Chains A and B, each alone.
Chain A
Amino acid sequence: MELLIAILVGILFAVGVYMMLSHKLLKIIIGTAFLSHGTLLMLMTVGKLKRGAPPIIVDGVEDAVYVDPIPQALILTAIVIGFATTAFSLVLAYRCYQELGTDETEQMRGDFTDEH
């Protein structure tokens, strides 16, 4: 299963980076979302997959084997932070459009030729 997820991670990264290299704000934000999904799966995979029960202790069961809880704790944090940054970027994009009248990074850069 690790191999399958690793391939998926690769695909998500590739799509995410491709989107991030575009000029549209929304595309860039979608790109970061892909990167974040890929990262979550990668974190999970490097901790090995499906090696035991969900990390919830059931009373009376001794010596149970659980999956590694540390990547899970890490990912839980990452999901929430990912959400925060997505929300922030979306509002930033909205405000950029409102202020500058464009959602194109290419048009936001202004006229560079004047300075030289």
Chain B
Amino acid sequence: MLLGLVLLPFAAAFLMPLLSKILKNKVGYAAVLVPLVLFASFLSLLPKVNAGEHIAYALHWIPTLGVDLAVRLDGLSLLFVLLISGIGLAVMVYSIFYLGAKERLGNFYTFIMLFMGAMLGVCTSANLVCMYLFWELTSVSSFLLIGFWYEKENPRLGAQKALLVTMAGGFCILAGIILIYRVAGTFAFDELIAQADLIQASPLYPAIVILLLIGAFAKSAQVPFHIWLPTAMEAPTPISCYLHSATMVKAGIYLIARMTPILGGTAMWGGIITVVGLTSLLFGSLMAIRQFDMKGILAYSTISQLGLIISLFGFGTDAAIAGGLFHLLNHSTFKGSLFLMTGIVDHQTGTRDTRLLHGLGKVMPLSALVACIGSFSMAGLPPFSGFLSKEMFMEAAEQAHASNLAFMGDLAYLIPFVAVVASIFTFVYSIALFFKIFFGGETTTTTPKQPKEGSLGMLIPALCLVSFNIIIALFPNAAAGLVLKGAINSVIGHGYDMHIAFWHGITPALIMTLIVVGLGLFVYWHYDWVKNLFLSYSSRIGAEKFYQKFLHGFPALTGKLTDLQINGRLSDYVAFTLCGALLLVLGPMIYYNAWSHIDISDLAPVDALEIVLAVVATCAALFVALTKRRIWAILALSVVGYCVSFYFVLMRAPDLALTQLMVETISTVLYLLALYKLPYGMLSNNPPIPNGRRTINALIGCLVGLMGFTVCMLGQGCKYFDSIAWYYNENSLKLAGGHNIVNVTIVDFRGFDTMGEITVLSLAAIGVYIMIKLGRNHLYDRHGVEPEEEQKTEFNDAGNDTVVIETDPYFQDDNDLQFPISPL
């Protein structure tokens, strides 16, 4: 059943194109059913999972590698799948009213279903391979959804950037997974947890941690991989809400949480995560102040808030992890509702520019309510749930020096300071988002559309989502007991008694919150001045510059590499191929010192005639390589051929000797014939091959020769297999009634091979015929000249090999490549 639930969105994705044809613009109503069913089913599983039961199902997939398509639902998975299906439900209802009938709804719902299935897969996979597969699928669906309006350039660039960054992270994860497998020999999470000590003691541990964390940070848009998230805001707003704030970007957090029992608890793990998380928290909150686009503010705010959650996982104490998961839940609700609110504002006014928007509260009271609750919760103000988790963050930050970050020493005391500074700016942009847009003077009149309240279809999902900020705040312990307890248990490995309350007395956390509110209000008082101050600094930071350089530099580099390799020189291609062969064959030969394995104990005796033949053949071969006269080259080649047939005689192979003799004779005639047809100066290259290149060619030749020699010597000494010659020797007369074993083998035992040989021969004959025949007709068609006439002018004196090219009109006007065999 669980696997069915995970695969349900994929099935729906296949149906969506069809449904969109039938239902037209009502397809959204059908699509809503999927998250509805999922949410209800997962809710029904809640009691079971809270009772400690793990729901698992596995389907054999790659049994040889021990990889199953295995799904498993524990507390952590359940928290995520509830978020995915629940927010998915809100977003899908919202989309029905947000997207006009003219949009490509079929595409939209197909992609979003694909995403939903992939995300469920990531969060329920029971092993790393499955998780990686679904992980990459989320990147692909995110790419498709960011580029939903692909007619415009910015969505395309944004989609490209998101894909490149998250996929690069994905590859790091794959590498990390492979390393983990090398250490632990398994992909399954359960078995990995049992081997946590082994993995942490392994010398590969640092590499594993770094690779997996790069992937997680890239997905969760943490500094310095955050660059893709702001540009991903080109997606339709429901998508930004769903993928780029509430669920997909949390996959990185999921990975960190999932790997905490396996890799966590070390100084390295905690240190890297804390530093990156806090950097993102601070950076995101500062950058959010700079933005004019409402979605830009929310994008940087997402980077910042995810940094907050991630840094809590870095602190690594039970309380910190509990706080992290709690804030994750709260963030999904308040950030999701703020995105939906932004979508409504955008939809109703035609702009998201904060400079144009003010005083909307009078005409859009319900949107204002959503914005009020959402932004106050984000700012960490009571009585909303954001306050509760923010308090937990403050508390954990204040105690971080006592956690597994103790190795940082006094630096750990900086953590609360960073937390307060980042929170001040979070407070400022949060309340600015509400007050500047919904208050701040008269209702705006400069927007493209006259503002009015959005339709209920869009408001209800937003209100539902934001209402959780109050519900959770009212019953924090009930909510925690219901969905958080199991999740915390999955991460820290034991039960954790979580007690959430608004009032703990005067604690350092409360004091920090009071400082944040106090200083935040002061900064907000000077909001315009602060914003201008921030804007006066350049926004192009290192990561973005690097990405742009990479984006333009990399294709240029690969282009140059390709030009180097695919340069149109046939001789270079041959050289590359041979070098590759040398690398693959001669390389291992040198590595294993193949020459020490050559067995020369059992060689046939050599007589003088054989040596003479070898000397003659060698001289002829070298002569061919050096001579400039083609007639000599051909004659020397035939000398080599005749030497070979002599050898066949000496090697007791009469059939071969006869055939070789005949073929060599005919070949020589053929070469001589061709000689007349080909131009003079056949053997001198024009343009001449430079000396350096000639040396390289000779070197390649010698190495291939060495390779041939070695293969030959190793082959003759090989004793790994018994000869099968006895079968032919015994049965040639008995079964086939022939005395000549070689002949019998060819026509009888290996008859099919011979048929293949005959086929090759026939094809070559057909090829030769067609080339000559077509060539003639071709000439005739092109110039209206009789083929015979053409032939006559081709050469005047066959005796001295000169061809008068000038008299042939054909060569003067035609330089394009036309292969005569192409009609074949």
Chain A interface (Cβ < 8 Å from any Cβ of B): 1-27, 30, 33-34, 37-38, 40-42, 44-59, 66-70, 72-73, 75-77, 79-88, 90-95, 97-101, 103-110, 112, 116
Contacts and interface: CB of A to CB of B under 8 A. Distances in A.
21 contacts: A4-B606, A9-B708, A11-B622, A12-B617, A12-B708, A15-B621, A18-B698, A20-B574, A21-B575, A22-B689, A30-B637, A54-B652, A57-B732, A69-B728, A85-B764, A87-B764, A92-B821, A93-B678, A98-B810, A99-B814, A105-B569
A111 B617 CA distance: 40
A109 B740 CA distance: 50
B178 interface: no
Contacts of A24: 682-683, 685
A27 B651 CA distance: 30
A48 B712 CA distance: 10
Interface string B663-686: 100110011011101110011011
B820 A99 contact: yes
Contacts of B814: 99, 101
Contact of A19 (B624, B686, B718): B624
A23 B570 CA distance: 8
Contact of B667 (A33, A49, A94): A33
A46 B710 CA distance: 11
Nearest to B708: A13
Interface of B: 559, 563, 567-571, 574-575, 578, 600, 602-606, 610-611, 614, 617-618, 621-622, 624-625, 630, 633-634, 637, 640-641, 644, 647-648, 650-656, 659-660, 663, 666-667, 670-671, 673-675, 677-679, 682-683, 685-687, 689, 697-698, 700-702, 704-709, 711-713, 715-716, 718, 723-725, 728-729, 732-733, 739-742, 745-746, 750, 753-754, 757, 760-761, 763-765, 767-768, 771-772, 775, 805, 810-811, 814-818, 820-821
B678 A25 contact: yes
Contacts of A84: 760-761, 763-765
A69 B725 contact: yes
B820 A30 contact: no
Task: List the 6 closest pairs (A to B, CB-CB), nearest first.
Answer: A14-B705, A46-B715, A10-B709, A101-B811, A18-B701, A84-B764
Contacts, number: 314
Given A14-B701, A34-B640, A69-B745, A97 B679 contact: yes
Contact of B653 (A54, A88, A106): A54
B700 A77 contact: no
B656 A8 contact: no
Given A37-B641, A99-B820, A103-B678, A5 B712 contact: yes
A104 B729 contact: no
Nearest to B817: A110
A64 B320 CA distance: 88
A19 B654 CA distance: 30
B791 to A, nearest CB: 10
Contacts of A25: 678
A43 to B, nearest CB: 9
A57 B725 CA distance: 14
Contacts of B733: 57
A87 B708 contact: no
Contacts of A67: 651-653
B757 A52 contact: no
A66 B727 CA distance: 12
A18 to B, nearest CB: 4
Contacts of B732: 57, 69
A42 B708 contact: yes
Given A50-B604, A69-B728, A110-B568, A76 B705 contact: no
A82 B659 CA distance: 12
A106 B764 contact: no
Q: Interface centre among B570, B644, B687, B742, by most A CB within 10 Å?
A: B742
Contacts of B625: 15, 18-19
B618 A52 contact: no
B674 A17 contact: no
Q: Interface centre among A49, A52, A104, by most B CB within 10 Å?
A: A49
B771 A95 contact: yes
A108 B817 contact: yes
Contacts of B666: 83
Nearest to A108: B817
Contact of B742 (A44, A76, A110): A76
Q: Interface centre among A6, A67, A98, A107, by most B CB within 10 Å?
A: A98
B716 A48 contact: yes
A74 to B, nearest CB: 8
Contacts of A104: 685-686
A38 B644 CA distance: 9
Given A6-B709, A23-B571, A42-B708, A81 B761 contact: yes
Contact of A69 (B569, B618, B729): B729
Nearest to B674: A90
Contacts of A98: 677, 775, 810
A100 B574 CA distance: 21
Contact of A42 (B567, B578, B604, B711): B711
Contacts of A101: 805, 810-811, 814-815
Contacts of A112: 567-568
Given A4-B606, A73-B750, 9 more contacts: A2-B712, A3-B713, A18-B697, A34-B637, A37-B641, A50-B604, A77-B754, A86-B667, A97-B677
Contact of A86 (B670, B771, B820): B670
A6 B713 contact: yes
A4 to B, nearest CB: 6
B725 A68 contact: yes
Nearest to A23: B685
Contact of A56 (B654, B767, B771): B654
Contacts of B705: 9-15, 17
A47 B683 CA distance: 37
B757 A94 contact: no
A94 B674 contact: yes
Nearest to A91: B768
A99 B820 CA distance: 8
A3 to B, nearest CB: 6
B745 A73 contact: yes
Contacts of A106: 569, 571, 685-687
A26 B805 CA distance: 18
Contact of A50 (B571, B651, B660, B724): B651
